């Protein structure tokens, strides 16, 4: 019975599954948008939200906790310097899952998981309706 067991096993043993999610989380931090299967993306969402919350804390303890999950120091520095600042006013919901296509080989549902736009970026966008119109 699987009572009180959380998470998807994805047909892998524990070490393989943890390595998969570490690789996916690192790629998502580096590229901010990746394409994977729907089940993997749904599991990755929780891991990524916890990492961004660590980034928002900004402490040395939080940085070491992020280094336990992310594989490269560049991904950790991007998380703490760039991504955490973008989401400083947001309380959760840092990722978005968009269904893209079905994989031809096995008909798996593929999705794109990406970081949502931060508050700082949305405030700096300029509306195109403010430009002066020319009469002809």
pLDDT tens, 121-132? 444 444 445 545
Read off the pLDDT of each residue in 82-92 and give the average, rounded to a whole number: 94
Could you give the C-alpha distances from 35 to 21, 93, 96, 103, in angstroms and in order? 13, 18, 12, 11
Does CATH number 3.40.50.2020 belong to domain 14-124?
A: no
**Domain ranges in the chain?**
14-124
What's the Cα-to-Cα distance from 97 to each of 20, 70, 89, 131, rounded to whole Å? 18, 20, 21, 34
Tell me what pLDDT residue 123 has.
47
Q: What is the DSSP letter of 2?
A: -
pLDDT of 120 above 70: no
Q: 88 and 12 in contact (C-beta within 8 Å)?
A: no
pLDDT above 90 as % of the chain: 82
pLDDT tens column, 11-62: 999 999 999 999 999 999 999 999 999 999 999 999 999 999 999 999 999 9
């Amino acid at each position: 019975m699987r009572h009180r067991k959380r998470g998807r096993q994805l047909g892998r043993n524990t070490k393989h599954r943890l390595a998969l999610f570490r690789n996916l989380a690192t790629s998502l931090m580096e590229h901010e948008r990746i394409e994977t299967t729907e089940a993997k993306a749904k599991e990755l969402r929780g891991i990524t939200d916890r990492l961004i919350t660590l980034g928002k804390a900004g402490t040395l303890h939080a940085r070491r906790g992020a280094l336990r999950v992310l594989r490269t120091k560049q991904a950790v520095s991007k998380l703490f310097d760039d991504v955490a600042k973008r989401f400083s006013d947001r309380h959760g919901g840092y990722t978005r899952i968009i269904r893209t296509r079905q994989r031809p080989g096995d008909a798996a549902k593929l999705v794109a998981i990406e970081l949502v736009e931060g508050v700082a970026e949305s405030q700096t966008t300029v509306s195109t309706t403010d430009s002066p119109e020319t009469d002809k």
